[in-house]
């Protein structure tokens, strides 16, 4: 195996990470504020260290996964001496700036630091479909890639800037929330006509497969080349259509905040003279703040 490892934080995610190491036979030391969360792991072969400093001292590599960077920063600062010369792989979620600040702290304190963003639920940890984005020193990532492969089938190194994994993470979460919110709004609309979510869903899935998914790669090309002329569907056409959505939602007493926000972006671009451009040009409206 890839040697001893310490895991700080045994919440739902931390426990899954520690389990993956234990199952592979790595000597795994674990620490958690609430000791009882270590019981199952100890039964599987992990060693629980009630003192975080001792937990850190036990292994050259420390994987951290706690609720927030605020918590993480406090834990790391309290064990700065023990962390000197160690590798910290931080998988706590936060903002890109949180990650960069933590990396700066690590550098100032002689800690070798990788930041990662987990794109998986705990049940997926260790499976091929789990994805983790990493950044930090490439040399450090290469050194520990074999160990990190125990956590996810796909590990993507994104460069030195430790803020970038969380940029990807937030981008994918934005996509998740907005697409699911679009589905929930659609269901609220069809429910108002007595149509159940289950009756509507096959059409939603076909729409995603045949219309939404194929629209993304050409949008990427348009955005990267900043050329938004379209033969398919202009902002002018979408401006008229989304008015119907907002008006109908209001008539039915369905919350229209979500569609009104999209409407405002479309209207702004049209007002700026981009009515003949494609929907992809809305990326410019986002960039305008
Ligand atoms: P949980 O709420 O299950 O666990 C939170 C962890 O943080 C626990 O170990 C908890 O300790 C610890 N903690 C909280 N406050 C303190 C504190 N003041 N001092 C010491 N320890 C503290 O969360 P998850 O395990 O689900 O998530 C952990 C991280 O992983 C988060 O950043 C989350 O965004 C990220 N993540 C989670 C995913 C998921 O699906 N669960 C997916 C992708 C990322 P205690 O047990 O003592 O309360």
| ipTM of model | 0.99
Residue nearest to atom 18 of ligand 1 (CA): 71
Residue 231 has pLDDT above 90, yes or no: no
Residue 111: the pLDDT is 98
Specify the fold of 196-287: 1.10.1040
Atom of ligand 1 nearest to the CA of 74: 19
Both tokens of residue 96? 């890109």
Q: How confident is the model at residue 268 (pLDDT cuts 50, 70, 90)?
A: very high
What does the pLDDT average to over 62-71?
98
What does the pLDDT average to over 73-87?
98
Residue whose token pair is 């990650």: 99
**Ligand 1 center from residue 16 Cα (angstroms):** 11
Residue 253: the pLDDT is 96
Phi, psi of 133 (to 5 degrees): -90, 140
The model's pTM is 0.94
Question: Does residue 67 line the site of ligand 1, with CB under 6 A?
Answer: yes
Contacts of 235 (CB under 8 A, 6+ apart): 266, 269, 270, 274, 275, 276, 277, 278, 279, 281, 282
Residue 232: the pLDDT is 84
The per-residue pLDDT of the chain, averaged, comes to: 97
Residue nearest to atom 1 of ligand 1 (CA): 11
Question: Does residue 65 line the site of ligand 1, with CB under 6 A?
Answer: yes
Residue 1 has pLDDT above 90, yes or no: no
Residue 92: count other Cβ atoms within 10 Å of its Cβ.
27
**Ligand 1 center from residue 235 Cα (angstroms):** 43
Residue 217: the pLDDT is 97
* Residue in 67, 79, 91, 102 to alter for ligand 1 test, most ligand atoms within 8 A of Cβ: 67
Q: How confident is the model at residue 42 (pLDDT cuts 50, 70, 90)?
A: very high
DSSP state of 59: -
**Domain boundary assignment for the chain:** 5-160, 196-287
Residue 259: the pLDDT is 95
**Ligand 1 center from residue 71 Cα (angstroms):** 9
Residue whose token pair is 């401006």: 239
Bridge partners (DSSP) of residue 87 are: 61, 112
Q: Could you give the CA distance from residue 64 to residue 262 in angstroms, rounded to a whole number?
A: 38
Give the containing element (helix H, strand E) for 48.
Answer: strand 47-48
Q: Which parts of 109-163 fold into alpha helices (H)?
A: 138-148
Atom of ligand 1 nearest to the CA of 66: 7
Pair 185, 158: CB distance under 8 Å? no
What does the pLDDT average to over 115-134?
97
**Ligand 1 center from residue 178 Cα (angstroms):** 24
**Ligand 1 center from residue 116 Cα (angstroms):** 15
Residue 133 has pLDDT above 90, yes or no: yes
Specify the fold of 5-160: Rossmann fold (3.40.50)
Residue 220 has pLDDT above 80, yes or no: yes
Q: Report the alpha-carbon angle 8-9-11, nearest 5.
A: 160
Residue 84 has pLDDT above 80, yes or no: yes
Bridge partners (DSSP) of residue 29 are: 6, 47
Residue 2: the pLDDT is 83
Q: Could you give the CA distance from residue 261 to residue 267 in angstroms, rounded to a whole number?
A: 10
Pair 19, 42: CB distance under 8 Å? no
Both tokens of residue 92? 């706590």
């Amino acid at each position: 195996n890839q040697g001893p490892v310490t895991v700080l934080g045994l919440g739902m995610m931390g426990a899954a990470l520690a389990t993956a190491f234990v199952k592979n036979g790595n000597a795994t030391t674990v620490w958690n504020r609430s000791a009882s969360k270590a019981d199952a792991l100890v039964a599987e072969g992990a060693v629980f260290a009630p003192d975080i400093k001792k937990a850190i001292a036990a292994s050259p590599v420390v994987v951290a996964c706690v609720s927030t960077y605020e918590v993480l920063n406090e834990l790391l600062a309290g064990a700065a001496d023990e962390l000197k010369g160690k590798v910290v792989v931080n998988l706590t979620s936060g903002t890109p700036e949180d990650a960069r600040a933590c990396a700066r702290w690590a550098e100032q304190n002689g800690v070798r630091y990788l930041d990662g963003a987990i794109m998986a639920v705990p049940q997926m940890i260790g499976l091929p479909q789990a994805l983790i984005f990493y950044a930090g020193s490439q040399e450090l990532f290469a050194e520990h890639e074999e160990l990190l492969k125990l956590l996810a089938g796909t590990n993507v190194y994104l460069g030195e800037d430790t803020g970038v994994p969380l940029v990807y993470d937030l981008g994918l979460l934005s996509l998740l929330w907005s697409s699911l919110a679009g589905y929930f709004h659609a269901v609220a609309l069809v429910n108002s006509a007595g149509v159940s979510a289950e009756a509507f869903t096959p059409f939603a899935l076909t729409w995603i497969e045949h219309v939404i998914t194929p629209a993304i790669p050409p949008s990427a090309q348009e955005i990267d080349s900043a050329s938004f002329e379209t033969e398919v569907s202009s902002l002018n056409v979408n401006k008229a259509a989304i008015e119907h959505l907002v008006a109908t939602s209001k008539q039915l007493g369905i919350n229209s905040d979500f569609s009104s926000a999209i409407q405002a972006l479309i209207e702004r671009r049209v007002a700026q003279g981009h009515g003949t451009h494609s929907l992809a040009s809305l990326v410019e409206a986002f960039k305008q703040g």
